[in-house]
Structure formats: C-alpha cells, structure tokens
Copies of this chain bind each other. A is one copy, B any other.
Amino acid sequence: MTREHPSNPVVLDATARQVLQVFSEKSTALFAPEAPVPDMDNCPVRDVLARVGDKWSLLILVTLSQKPHRFSALQRQVGDISKRMLTQSLRMLERDGLVSRQVFPTKPPSVEYALTALGEAALVPVAALLDWAAGAHDDIRAARRRYDAEAG
C-alpha cells in the first residue's frame, strides 16, 4: 500500500518554513499535550482562540481599526450582528483590554469604542492573517468546487 499524500508541492519559501518550524516547536509547549492536566484555562493558544475564534470580535476589531465608532455606528458597519452579541463582544474586548469604552454624557448619551494600544498591536498579526486570506481565497474556492463536484 504505497501511501503518498498529495505531497506538498512546496509552496512555502525558506523564511516561511522557518517561521513554521519555530512555531511548531513552540506550539508543542503551548499546548502542553502531555501535561497530566492540560492547563486549558491558562493556555495562551486556547485563550486567544476564544477571542479571535469569536465570529464577531475580529470583525469589530477590524472595523475599529479604521476609526473609533459609536455603538450604533458599529452595528451598522458590521451589518448583521445583533445588539445582544455586539454588546457582549464589546464587553469581552474591553475586559481583555483590546478596546476602550468612553461614555459622553450628551443628551442621548453616546458611547465611543476605540482600539487600545494592545488592540492595535493585535491587529498586526490579524492583518497578516486576513491578508493571506484574501490571497488564498481563490484557491479555497477552487478546492471547494472540486470537493463538492466529486461528492455532492
């Protein structure tokens, strides 16, 4: 049974491979897979995933990267987020120190949300990710068509 994987045609350049290599070594530690009681609650990977892995958080962060927004402007901009989730996501982002919340005691009180320094810093790797996403989008859609074609 000669088994060959689709055998990576090596798309990555040397730098990329090195990044991955270093990362792979680190990730072993980050996951702590052999710890008797894997410290799930304190694992940075899990932790950031809980934030980034939230459908809305990233979208909010990206929106705020353009300029500070008020609550309802934010909702309009993101588009299909419900007030409930927007409130909830903003609270978590604020709690994590990625977003700041400032209330102006105007007649109908207005609230402005903005990125903190930490939030801006977070956007750097996020930007890289989305940048890759934009580039890989065609490949992904092609893969989907292929997959769907041979197994509808």
Contact = CB atoms under 8 A, between A and B. Distances in A.
Interface residues of A, number: 85
Given A11-B120, A49-B59, A102 B143 contact: no
A39 to B, nearest CB: 11
A27 B62 contact: yes
B117 A6 contact: yes
Contacts of A31: 62-63, 77
Interface string A1-40: 1010110111110001001101110111011010000101
Nearest to A124: B16
Contact of A40 (B9, B80, B103, B115): B80
B65 A55 contact: no
